[in-house]
Amino acid sequence: MEYLFDGVREFNTKDYLEYKNLFRNLSRRQAPHTLFIGCSDSRVVPNLITKTLPGELFVIRNIANIVPYYRQSEEYLATTAAIEYAVKALQVENILICGHSNCGGCKALFADTSLTSELPHTKKWLELAERVKQKVLSEHIEDELEREWKTEQLNVVEQMNHLITYPYIKEKYRKKEINILGWYYHIESGDVFNYQPEEKRFVKIT
């Protein structure tokens, strides 16, 4: 546990000093340009992969980077309140859904129920991605790895669609006042793929 305290000491004596002016400027206000919705997975580090600084990203992280449907928003307030605040109060320009390789949440969609019964809240949460599971199952993919990445990528697209069920996002999106992006982060290679809606595929950012 001591490494956590050591981390603060190092932050105070090194990193904080490097960005002292930035922290001063941000001390009473924030104006992030992007709402980043990513997985809680410890290997997905939003500021690292986007090379952004404090003040730039408003971040929501949950298991499998899920956006509940608007009609279910009362049930999942932690996520839906943060979306509401980012879009309506902070007026972000972009919403970015970022999925990733080897996602435990996506894998758990296909886990047998005896496994997930030990995790009732996780199980209920993942029901929000049931459509993704059904779509993948309908493709009868034999290869496990292929099914894995298909699930993770389809899940990103599905959550982008869920965002449009929010009337205040739909309105802004229609007026081109907000961008909705879908990314797929490959942990091992560091590659990030951007979803191209016209081509319906993810294209590596180079």
Residue among 159, 37, 153, 42 at smallest CA distance from 100? 153
Q: Which of 15, 28, 43, 191 is catalytic?
A: 43
- Identify which of residues 100 and 172 has a Cβ nearer to Zn ion in the complex: 100
- Cβ(192)–Cβ(49) under 8 Å? yes
Structure tokens at 191: 């590659």
Q: Are strands 192-196 and 179-185 parallel, antiparallel or unpaired?
A: antiparallel
Question: 141: left (phi > 0), else alpha (psi -120 to 50), else beta?
Answer: beta
Residue 39 catalytic?
yes
In the window 39-78, what residues touch Zn ion (CB under 5 A)?
39, 41
The 21-40 contact track toward Zn ion, x by CB under 5 A, reads ------------------x-
Q: Return d(Cα 94, Cα 91) in angstroms, integer.
A: 9
Residue 103 touches Zn ion, criterion: CB under 5 A:
yes
- Identify which of residues 86 and 126 has a Cβ nearer to Zn ion in the complex: 126
- Cβ(44)–Cβ(100) under 8 Å? yes
- Cβ(29)–Cβ(88) under 8 Å? no
Question: Which residue type does 145 have?
Answer: L
Instruction: Quote the least distance from Cβ 200 to Zn ion, whole Å.
Output: 22
Q: Which of 98, 103, 106, 147 is catalytic?
A: 103
Residue 100 catalytic?
yes
- DSSP assignment of 159-193 equals HHHHHHTSHHHHHHHHTT-SEEEEEEE-TTT--EE
Residue 143 catalytic?
no
Residue 105 touches Zn ion, criterion: CB under 5 A:
yes
- Identify which of residues 83 and 109 has a Cβ nearer to Zn ion in the complex: 109
Residue count, binding to Zn ion (CB under 5 A): 4
Task: Tell me which stretch binds Zn ion (CB under 5 A): 4-12, 15-23, 96-104, 186-194.
Answer: 96-104
Residue 148 touches Zn ion, criterion: CB under 5 A:
no
Instruction: Quote the least distance from Cβ 96 to Zn ion, whole Å.
Output: 15
Active-site positions read 39, 41, 43, 100, 103
Residues at the site binding Zn ion, with contacts judged by CB under 5 A? 39, 41, 103, 105
